[in-house]
Structure 1
């Protein structure tokens, strides 16, 4: 039987290269000890998986919790409903975030989003347990991760903390494995002079890095992309109003016209979906393809606005819109900017973060604001 170390080495070779200082940490860290079970939906509804061993070393996200049900505590015939609420991050993405964090020996690191604890293990191996604090809102996740870390003689500080509230200390680096709607003011308060944070922004594929300087907190959007689960403050995400996309697919619009661009699956077009979120945050998307080649993009916003575009192939779509805003018009305006500029303007944009967590983005004559979300 192939040993876990052979699988770990294969993973390390995929994620990085033998000359990287991360290579040894990946080779020496048994991911299967942190993810003995996970949820998989590749064949339909969520189903429990407990191996094979190679599965734990795949360079992919392993979902460990659906709603409030953790895979560790599930029965083989459980099929949970709801959103994924925790996972073991794609190893290559975890290393990417650490690299953007500009980590170094002797710096105190806050690992926001413990999840399985695998990331905390990599950090502790590279930089020493006493310099790593790993935080998660879920007491079970923190307890399980701490036990699995200790079994490997790794003892970073592991705390149950709602990361949207006050953090337990100050840090030279804050690395987030969850997506935030804006920068929590508590992160800014916990960031030491010269300190650096790296996170992703909810509803976008933005990787944001920022450093505390004597004049404020400034940074940039990296020329890269990533997506994480949204940060949460409780055992599950709060319920949201159900959007009746079946009704949107059939209803007549208050405004009916012909779109200027082909229909596409907006949520899968990461540059375009990010630009649309920056313009109109909070849109939900669905995409449907018929057997006759007809495909439909559906959009809905919590304010009651909705839009539907339907076409065959790349033909101009018939567009129905209703509610207080014209969402398809907003999408077309964003596509205009995208084509006019020839690139996604948020990539490489400079960032200024205000004390309340508001993020101001600037690149050339392009501007965007990610407004602060009040602390619960």
Structure 2
């Protein structure tokens, strides 16, 4: 691909403007100056030769129209967007795009992206990475975040793993083209990367349903692991764990409403037609809901946090709303629940071995009784008893994170 001769000058100016914007917001974002200095040097545009942006138009079916953006299609838009503080979608549904001949697309689930720079810098800053540390990054993606780590620490101190071979190949080309030479490997981030262990810091750029034990075993005593946590209700949190010499780990949830794409091994399974699940509930007795579903579905920080707590109680449940009726579907236990609006209230029907909404209401009750504490007041402890969310004012709740079947 031939790029305009003035690319370097234009990119440098845009990069400087992006870093200035991030520096001005640095106090609120808690960005370490050393990471901002790295961002001033790493050419992000070289890691995103093509990406998708949502169109302002609608296709009339509710699906998002995605437009490809490359330097060939629109040089100015491509370069300016590369240096905006935005997440750039580079892959849908695990399918690669031919960026020489890209086409628009309708809908789809994003499976790879270049995360917005402020969040990348925040992750590295929150992980308390310092000079001389060796780091493992889980989820190479485009390689931009990896490049920042190489710029700050030196390539010999950085290892990065990626499950997608094509993604890894593109990242490797960009990294090596920029002069960065970290250790790169195609691997499932669930298992870390034993050939380079032990690490002082492990930072994940994808979310997990629970903490993979291999990552703790590959961290030096006193080292730290920063992980996004998510689940099938799409409640999200981040945790910064400090690993002890006996293999246990403990640390706080971090504040903020940040989400990452799930690790592919932790993605939710298909549940089919919600109406099929609801059909078996017609004979179940209904009751009035003590808490409305808006407690989880509202576009608020509290609802975002409550979804995370709720999925700790019902880790295999998924949630979807069809024609105003909310469905909770648990494909593992075969349980299902519907919440139907009735005259300003909600009617609940629950079937199967787990009473899904009842379990969620217990979490909300405890949350209310504790004074609605924010995520930063919780501690995650990983030890021989499992992975437990702890809160001094919610001792009666046994909130646990669980690994998918087949992982340890």
CA distance in 2, matches of 1:183, 1:263: 28
CA distance in 1, matches of 2:181, 2:84: 25
**Equivalent position of 1:15 in the other structure:** 22
After superposition, the CA RMSD in angstroms is: 2.9
Instruction: Count residues with an aligned counterpart.
Output: 366
CA distance in 2, matches of 1:165, 1:262: 39
Match of 2:311 among 257, 262, 277: 277
**Equivalent position of 2:264 in the other structure:** 232
CA distance in 2, matches of 1:139, 1:152: 20
Match of 2:350 among 317, 321, 340: 321
Q: TM-score, normalised by structure 1?
A: 0.86
**Equivalent position of 1:31 in the other structure:** 44
CA distance in 1, matches of 2:371, 2:295: 20
CA distance in 2, matches of 1:185, 1:306: 31
Distance 1:253-1:300 versus aligned 2 partners, 3 A rule: farther
Q: TM-score, normalised by structure 2?
A: 0.80
SS of the residue 1:164 aligns to = helix
CA distance in 2, matches of 1:371, 1:238: 14
**Equivalent position of 1:169 in the other structure:** 196
Distance 1:199-1:166 versus aligned 2 partners, 3 A rule: closer
Per mean C-alpha deviation after superposition, the further-off stretch among 278-287 and 13-22 is: 13-22
SS of the residue 1:134 aligns to = strand
Structure with bigger helix share is: 2
CA distance in 2, matches of 1:112, 1:371: 19
Deviations 1:304-333 (A, max 9, x none): 2222223379x2223333333222222322
CA distance in 2, matches of 1:239, 1:277: 12
Deviations 1:336-363 (A, max 9, x none): 222222224653322322379x422222
Distance 1:23-1:211 versus aligned 2 partners, 3 A rule: same
Alignment of 1:51-200 (within 5 A): 51-71=77-97, 75-77=101-103, 79=105, 82-165=108-191, 167=193, 168-170=195-197, 171-200=199-228
Per mean C-alpha deviation after superposition, the further-off stretch among 12-21 and 151-160 is: 12-21
**Equivalent position of 1:218 in the other structure:** 250
CA distance in 2, matches of 1:276, 1:148: 41
Aligned-pair distance for 1:262? Answer: 3.5
CA distance in 1, matches of 2:98, 2:370: 48
Gaps in structure 2 of 5+ consecutive residues: 1-5, 27-31, 58-63, 71-76
Q: Is 1:346–1:361's contact at 8 Å kept on the other side of the alignment?
A: no
CA distance in 2, matches of 1:253, 1:91: 52
